[in-house]
Amino acid sequence: MWSYEKKLQYPVNIKNPNPKLAKLIITQFGGPDGELGAAMRYLSQRYTMPYNEAIGILTDVGIEDNYCALCEVAKDLPLLPLHTPPLDKPSTAVFR
Amino acid sequence: MNDNRKETLMRKIQMYAFTAHECALYLDCHPNNKQALSRYSKAIKAKNEAVAQYEGLYGPITVQSAGGNDWNWVKGAWPWQNKED
């Protein structure tokens, strides 16, 4: 079980909306190679892991990094962001 | 000027929460690393203090902190609403 925190992972202040960048960001979110799918896979794969460390990492990466990506992207779409896409966050390197 | 304090507190929370989470990811695979454990504890403590301060002034961050005289959970802006309220 987890709970929701009414906050972004880091502050976002959109000054210059950038539709092209927004489009790029949303392509990273859904679909077969998207962040959301990855999060679901990690959270599902936990249950058959033989090592506790693996369960831990799948849990923590699955929840925080992907749901933060969710919030960041969901927030950005209507506002057409110009800022670093979630791809550049160090934690997303784990998924590649 | 109240807004400045709100932003400052929120930024502190975000900073400590991020630090704690990064430490947690590391500790998941290196559970006995003393340095990481210490850093994690410090970050979590600082985060909790900042959260307590923030919630006292600006309302709940988690639904478990909600309540009181009215259901303040649904009042005020959500994180993606920015200053539009």
For A95, which DSSP code? G
User: Among B11, B17, B28, whose Cβ lies nearest the Cβ of A56?
Assistant: B28
Give the pLDDT confidence score for residue B80 in this predicted structure: 74
Q: Indicate whether A91 pLDDT > 50.
A: no
Percentage of chain A with pLDDT > 90? 20
Q: Where are the alpha helices (DSSP H) in chain A?
A: 19-29, 35-45, 52-60, 66-79
Subunit contact B17:A9, Cβ cutoff 8 A = yes
Instruction: Tokens 């933060």: give the residue.
Output: A68
Write the Ramachandran bin of A5: left for phi over 0, alpha for psi from -120 to 50, otherwise beta: beta
Q: What is the mean pLDDT of chain B?
A: 90
Q: If pLDDT is split at 50, 70 and 90, which confidence band does A67 have? A: low
CB interface of B with A, residues 5-64, below 8 Å: 7, 10-11, 13-14, 17-18, 21-22, 24-25, 28-29, 31, 60-64
What residues contact A24, with CB distance under 8 A and at least 6 apart? A85
Instruction: Tokens 């960001």: give the residue.
Output: A25
The sign of the dihedral angle between the CA atoms of B29, B34, B38, B39 is negative
Give the pLDDT confidence score for residue A44 in this predicted structure: 92
Q: Indicate whether A57 pLDDT > 50.
A: yes
Total count of residues recorded for chain B: 85
Q: Indicate whether A85 pLDDT > 80.
A: no
ipTM of the complex: 0.82
Q: Indicate whether A60 pLDDT > 80.
A: yes
DSSP run (H or E) holding B24: helix B2-29
* Interface test mutation site (partner B, options A1, A3, A4, A6, max chain B beta carbons within 10 A): A6
Closest Cα partner for A81 from A35, A31, A20, A6?
A: A20
* Residue A61 structure tokens: 């990466």
Q: Indicate whether A90 pLDDT > 60.
A: no
Q: Answer with the residue of higher pLDDT: A34 or B7.
A: B7
Residue A42, SS3?
helix
Q: If pLDDT is split at 50, 70 and 90, which confidence band does A8 have? A: confident
* Residue B63 structure tokens: 């639904």
Q: If pLDDT is split at 50, 70 and 90, which confidence band does A4 have? A: confident
A–B interface: beta-carbon pairs under 8 A: 59
